Amino acid sequence: MSNNKAFTLWLTGLSGAGKTTLAALLVTELRARDVRVEVLDGDEVRTNLSKGLGFSKEDRDTNIRRIGYVCRLLSRNGVVTVSAAISPYSATRDEVRRSVEQDGARFIEVFVKCPIAVLAARDVKGLYKKALAGELQGFTGVSDPYEEPLAPDVVVETDRESVEFSLSKILSALEQRGLILKTDLSKPRKVRSLFSGRSKNHTQRSSTVRVTERGTSATILTKLFLRSRLKRR
């Protein structure tokens, strides 16, 4: 993994905020820097690793602990891990952080922030509308709690920022901590915006993210990623 260091990047936020989109783009960018990386997407984990679990607090915590355990194993063996799951309870996220850090890896918490009103407007399945109308119970952020991080390492606001700018904020934070190598600024590469329903304002930046030459990645787990379905995790 060259001079890069293993770590877990934990994307937390409400359903539809953009976690899966950012995770997919982060994996592409990290592999372009010759970083070994795997992604654990909340929806995919529910289908595979946590099949049969419900949405009680106990089951939600069990799901997050399982994701955290896999992140811990990968990170301590030199593989960068990106988790994209709602992970609504701060105590459980902190528990995962401690377990990862106890094995000598870094844990970077990214709060993918977006207001309920914007999420409802983006929601093609109408789940937020049903939850807000009281027709859907146990929906995180509406009828079930979501505890926002009090001191996240990075905050991205997907209702105000372009996906390129959010991505660059996360990559810059990793560079500043010495977890990944800085990019070769002579080799720009375009990244297509995938957030739906986002507004345009002054926080948007250039549509290029600059990376070094493309490398290879060792696959350790069956890929658990890249479906951007809107569902509770």
The catalytic residue positions are: 87
Closest CA to 224 of 78, 39, 67: 39
- Cβ neighbors of 191 (< 8 A, separation 6 or more) are 25, 29, 163, 164, 167, 207, 208, 209
* Coil, helix or strand at residue 227: coil
- Cβ neighbors of 119 (< 8 A, separation 6 or more) are 14, 15, 16, 17, 128, 141
Rg (CA), the chain: 17
CA distance 184 to 161: 24
CA distance 130 to 47: 23
* Coil, helix or strand at residue 154: strand
Provide φ and ψ at 8, rounded to 5°.
Answer: -110, 125
Sign of CA dihedral 46, 153, 100, 224: positive
Tokens of 217: 């990645």
Q: How many helices (H) and strands (E) does the chain have?
A: 7, 7
